[in-house]
Structure 1
Amino acid sequence: MRNVWVVLISVGVAGFAVSAQARELMPNERYMCSWGAGTAARAQELKLAGVSLYAARQKIHSYKFAKSWMRMMAMGITEQTYDSPTRIKPEAVRESFYDDCVKYKLARK
């Protein structure tokens, strides 16, 4: 009887682990992460080019955004990028932001 319980618990734990790994992001969540990564990369480009945070904010205000949440999100991402002391290349910022965003979204599910 004891062996049966051990087998049942093992199968249950394995099934739970497989279901946890099978989670996928919805296309809109992937789009949000991709868009945010692009915004962070653009902000890093401006920062490395010596553009002030004020000028970067003015550029954001001049953009046309497809969704209402994008303007404030772009402002937040830009400010966080400027607050960071890092000097890495914009492509590395894009990859890092996207990977972290996907991990965060998967962890929330």
Structure 2
Amino acid sequence: MRGFVMTVAVCALATFSLATHAKALNKNDRFVCSWGSEIAAGAQQSKLSGVTLYAARKRLQSRKFPKPWMRMTAMGITEQTYNSRSRLKPPAIKQTYYEQCARHAMAQR
């Protein structure tokens, strides 16, 4: 029971932190962080399901991206995700990526 309470407290704190970062970020930063977190979560899902890095990169190559910088950025995020030893579930990766991206964007100001 104590572990459950601790988990709920951590989730509540993370949600509050995420909301605070979202308010302080401009629209472009929110878009970039959200997009990157989706890419990281997808890469983690592929990694955990046994898809090779080669196959994941091939899938990204065939995907259409609305902005020219997105393809290479997605490749980098995917490669970093595969190189990581993390076995976290994709939603946790998504949240962690977004929080760290938001923190980085705020530090840039």
The normalised TM-score by structure 1 is 0.78
Aligned residues: 87
> What one-letter code is carried by the residue in structure 2 that aligns with 1:76?
G
Which runs of no fewer than 5 residues in structure 2 stay unpaired?
Answer: 1-22
Q: Percent identity?
A: 52
Match of 1:13 in 2: none
**What are the Cα deviations for residues 23-76 of structure 1, in whole angstroms up to 9, with x where unaligned?**
922101110000000000000000000000000000000100000000000000
User: Please, what is the CA RMSD of the aligned residues?
Assistant: 1.0
- The answer to which structure has the higher helix fraction is 2
Which one has a bigger Cα radius of gyration? 1
Which runs of no fewer than 5 residues in structure 1 stay unpaired?
Answer: 1-22
Match of 1:41 in 2: 41
Match of 1:98 in 2: 98
Match of 1:71 in 2: 71
Match of 2:5 in 1: none
